Amino acid sequence: MSSNIPRSHPRYESLMMRERLASGFHKGFVHETGLIAHGRGEAFDYLLGEETLPVADRASKAAAAMLLLAEHPVISVNGNVVALVAEEVVDLANRIPAKIEVNLFHRTSDRVHRLVSRMEEAGGKGVLGRNADARIDGLGHDRGWCEKKGIFESDVVLVPLEDGDRCQALRDMGKTVITIDLNPLSRTAKTADVTLVDNVVRSVPRISFWIDKLKAKSECDLLKLRDEWDNSSGLDMVLKNICSRFQKD
């Protein structure tokens, strides 16, 4: 990565994310279309003020409760997620605990191997993805491939930076789906059980924060947090917040 970006630069954090993605592209982690997807998300982050909104924090809390209640939680990662928050995902998986599985739209065995190896380098244990032996019904593309002992048999799946059709397919299988998506209007955001409208670099550590806070809570308390979350209302609050930032006095 370039070291020529001073911390005093007003766009430092955003530029460093770009650097990590560019580095990930050159290492074979990130597909070229992933760079386009990040640019689209970055535009929405501007609209959010590049900060975690209170409603996104509440979504993180609900997500943490669902992950703690799960019997077989799995965190699904793609190239962008690995490039941006590999260590943070491993930390979250250890705290829950949950399995990690590499799942890709632009899938090649070489790219899967690189991403699994990177997650293992970050401290991940038993990272899945190399031995895809099951398919998600209704998906004709490669995101349908998964491991039976991972995503296929999971009950709760965290899918950062997700494709909308797989999100719906996972819901159709009876799974609880938690997603991280900066676009509150996307198919994924509208389809998931819980949508964190936030940047993945902020939201993954925030879920870890709430995992630690909620671990001592009773199952009854966790169920209450889960059941109180209304995803449609949460998305509406995000949109109202965006609009209010641009209303003139």
Segments making up each domain of the chain, as ranges: 54-241
Which pLDDT score is estimated for 15? Answer: 84
Max Cα-Cα span within the chain? 58
Which pLDDT score is estimated for 33? Answer: 86
pLDDT (tens, 9 = 90+) of the chain, 249 residues, equals 556 777 877 777 888 889 999 998 899 898 888 888 888 889 999 999 999 999 999 999 999 999 999 999 999 999 999 999 999 999 999 999 999 999 998 899 999 999 999 999 999 999 999 999 999 988 888 888 999 999 999 999 999 987 678 899 999 999 999 999 999 999 999 999 999 999 999 999 999 999 999 999 999 999 999 999 999 999 999 999 999 988 754
Which pLDDT score is estimated for 248? Answer: 57
CA 46 → CA 16, 49, 198, 213, distances in Å?
15, 5, 11, 29
Report the distance separating Cα 64 and Cα 203, nearest Å. Answer: 11
Provide CB contacts within 8 A for 107, sequence distance 6+. Answer: 142, 143, 145
Assigned CATH class of 54-241 = alpha beta
Which pLDDT score is estimated for 8? Answer: 77
Task: Give a three-class secondary structure readout of the chain.
Answer: CCCCCCCCCCCHHHHHHHHHHHHHHHCCCCCHHHHHHHHHHHHHHHHHCCCCCHHHHHHHHHHHHHHHHCCCEEEEECHHHHHHHHHHHHHHHHHCCCEEEECCCCCCHHHHHHHHHHHHHCCCCCCECCCCCEECCCCCCHHHEECCCCHHHCCEEEEECCCHHHHHHHHHCCCEEEEECCCCCCHHHHHCCEEECCCHHHHHHHHHHHHHHHCCCCHHHHHHHHHHCCHHHHHHHHHHHHHHCCCCC
Which pLDDT score is estimated for 1? Answer: 53
Residue with tokens 């590499």: 102
Report the distance separating Cα 223 and Cα 209, nearest Å. Answer: 18
